[in-house]
Amino acid sequence: MIEMKDVYMTYQNGVVALNGISVTINQGEFVYIVGHSGAGKSTFTKLMFREELPMKGTIVVNNKDVTQLKWKDVPYFRRNIGVVYQDFRLLPRLTVYENIAFALEVIEESPKNIRKRVMTVLDQVGLKNKARFIPDELSGGEQQRVAIARAIVNRPSLLIADEPTGNLDPDTSWEIMHILEEINASGTTVVMATHSKEIVNTVRKRVIAMEDGMIVRDEHRGEYGYEI
Ligand SMILES: Nc1ncnc2c1ncn2[C@@H]1O[C@H](COP(=O)(O)OP(=O)(O)OP(=O)(O)O)[C@@H](O)[C@H]1O
The per-residue pLDDT for range 66-75, each reduced to its tens digit, is: 999 999 999 9
Which numbered atom of ligand 1 lies nearest the CA of 44?
A: 18
Does the Cβ of 20 fall within 6 Å of ligand 1?
A: no
Helix H or strand E encompassing 20:
strand 16-25
ipTM score over 0.85, yes or no: yes
Does the Cβ of 173 fall within 6 Å of ligand 1?
A: no
Does the Cβ of 43 fall within 6 Å of ligand 1?
A: yes
Residue 40 zone, left/alpha/beta (φ > 0; ψ -120 to 50; rest): left
Domains of the chain from N-terminus onward: 1-80+156-228 (3.40.50.300), 90-154 (no CATH)
3-state secondary structure 2-17: EEEEEEEEECCCCCEE
* pLDDT class of 228 with cuts at 50, 70, 90: low
pLDDT at 189 over 70: yes
Helix H or strand E encompassing 210:
strand 206-211
Neighbours of 10 (CB within 10 A): 15
Please report, in angstroms and rounded to a whole number, the separation of the first and last CA atoms in the chain: 31
Does the Cβ of 86 fall within 6 Å of ligand 1?
A: no
Does the Cβ of 76 fall within 6 Å of ligand 1?
A: no
Q: Which residues contact 22 (CB under 8 A, 6 or more apart)?
A: 4, 5, 6, 7, 215
The per-residue pLDDT for range 79-127, each reduced to its tens digit, is: 999 999 999 999 999 999 999 999 888 887 899 999 999 999 999 999 9
Q: To test ligand 1's pocket by mutation, which of 9, 21, 37 has the most ligand atoms within 8 angstroms of CB? A: 37
The per-residue pLDDT for range 134-177, each reduced to its tens digit, is: 999 999 999 999 999 999 999 999 999 999 999 999 999 999 99
> Atom 3 of ligand 1 has which residue's CA nearest to it?
11
